[in-house]
Structure formats: C-alpha cells, structure tokens
C-alpha cells in the first residue's frame, strides 16, 4: 500500500478546501420578541444523545436565532430537501427580522412549541432549550427534541433518503446532496 503524504491544514474552517467536515443544512425557526416568526439557515447541528433526544446547535450570540432561543427557549429544526437549496442560501441574505414568509416559505403550526414549522420542508424537530455553553461570541445550544414530524411520502417510498434529498454545507457557496441511502453490506 502506498503511503499518502499528510500535510498541515489550517484551523479556520472558513478556509478549508476541500472541507473534511460537513454540516447538514437546516432551517431553524424561532419566535421574535414581537411574536413574529424568524427563520435562519444553520449547518452546525448534530445529534448528541438518544435518551433523552438531544441536539447541539452552534450559533453566534449576535444572531437573532440564538437570542430568541435563549429568551423563549423553543425552536423548530426544519429539514429542507436539496430542491430548496437556492431558497435556503438566499434566506441568509435577508435582513432581520426575517419572518418565514420573507424567505418565500409557508409557516404552519408546530405540534408542541410556539415557533412554526415550514411546510416546504420534509421533516421537523420541535425542540426546547436544555443547556448552553459559550466560547466568546460563539454558543453551543443543547436542545431536547419534544416532537418530530415527517412527510408521509418519506415513509411510503423504497428509499426515504432519495425522497428527503438531505444536503450539507461543505464550504462557501458549496453544498453536497445525499441522493440515496446505502446499506453497509450492499
């Protein structure tokens, strides 16, 4: 086997090309102080525990999303398919406050929390604030999932991942798509 040369790579993820870490792209909805919805694309999110089901969300203290979560304690993680990639990217450029409708999306009531779900998204994780840790202006928010919903069609097709078309942030202006699920022994 040929040995591959390993070279140093910078610590700043913003400079990584190619990026050895990906982050699933989601749309997080919260409620502003005036009770209007707020939507923000996020890619620093990951499952942290099964029981109870805990997610970690990386954000910046200056972001409306972080301030709303810390003030109200609730959010919805909306899972878009790749067909919404352009809408998601454009939504990050909208001025705040940023209601769901300003992104051209449709707010629908959540099952257990105040922030809305986004109808065009294929799955939704309704969450409540559990704990947070800060690092300067950055914050890691741990949230407990209290309700989950998914498009019925995702459960009716042979490959749910082909239906979901989950996508991930790779680097500036670049994303990747999961086009199908693959079993480990295929």
Question: Mind listing the pLDDT tens digit for each residue in 62-106?
Answer: 999 999 999 999 999 999 999 999 999 999 999 988 999 999 999
Mean pLDDT of 147-160: 97
Q: How far apart are CA 179 and CA 124, in angstroms?
A: 20
Domain 22-177 sits in CATH 2.30.110.10? yes
Percent of the chain with pLDDT over 90: 92
Q: How far apart are CA 26 and CA 158, in angstroms?
A: 24
Q: Is 37 exposed, middle or buried (0-12, 13-18, 19+ CB in 10 A)?
A: buried
Which residues have CB under 8 Å from 142's CB, separation 6+? 48, 54, 55, 56, 129, 130, 131, 132, 133
Mean pLDDT of 20-48: 96
């Amino acid at each position: 086997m040929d040995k591959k040369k390993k070279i140093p790579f910078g610590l700043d993820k913003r400079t990584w090309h190619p990026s050895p870490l990906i982050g699933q792209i989601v749309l997080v909805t919260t409620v502003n102080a005036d009770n209007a919805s707020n939507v923000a694309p996020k890619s620093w999110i990951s499952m942290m525990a099964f029981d109870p089901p805990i997610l970690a969300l990386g954000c910046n203290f200056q972001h409306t999303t972080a301030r709303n979560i810390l003030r109200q304690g609730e959010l919805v993680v909306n899972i878009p398919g790749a067909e919404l990639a352009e809408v998601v990217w454009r939504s990050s450029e909208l001025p705040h406050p940023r209601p769901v409708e300003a992104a051209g999306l449709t707010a629908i009531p959540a099952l257990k929390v105040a922030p809305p779900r986004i109808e065009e998204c294929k799955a939704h994780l309704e969450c409540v604030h559990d704990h947070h840790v800060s690092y300067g202006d950055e914050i890691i928010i741990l949230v407990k999932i209290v309700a989950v919903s998914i498009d019925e069609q995702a459960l009716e097709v042979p490959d749910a991942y082909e239906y979901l078309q989950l996508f991930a942030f790779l680097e500036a202006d670049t994303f990747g798509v999961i086009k199908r699920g693959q079993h480990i022994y295929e």
